[in-house]
Amino acid sequence: MPVYHVVLFKLKPEVTAKQLEDWGKLAYAMLGQVPGLTKISFGKPLPMTASRAKGFDMGLVAILDSPAALSTYAAHDAHLPVMALREELCVDAMAYDLEFDV
């Protein structure tokens, strides 16, 4: 059953659009490198609901084949630079993983 790996990010105030672009490129580059990662989306909240985002400025949804694929993703070499940039660009992050069939 697919796993939806949802991560919300609170960005540091000094983060630039270029840094976000580079971070997004690294995230999308994981497709085809990380076994079991089938889709990834990365972006800002919708304006109509941004006021309810509790300070989280960006979000990521990764769809993986299984819980085992999530474990592979977490430790994969292609994921490490994405996590390193998260540490550099964010003051906080929250992950929430769900397993369900659509």
Entry pTM: 0.92
101: exposed, middle or buried (Cβ count in 10 Å: 0-12, 13-18, 19+): exposed
Q: How far apart are the first and last CA of the chain?
A: 9
Domains parsed from the chain with CATH numbers: 3-99 (3.30.70.100)
Per-residue pLDDT of the chain (102 residues; tens, 9 = 90+): 999 999 999 999 999 999 999 999 999 999 999 999 999 999 999 999 999 999 999 999 999 999 999 999 999 999 999 999 999 999 999 999 999 887
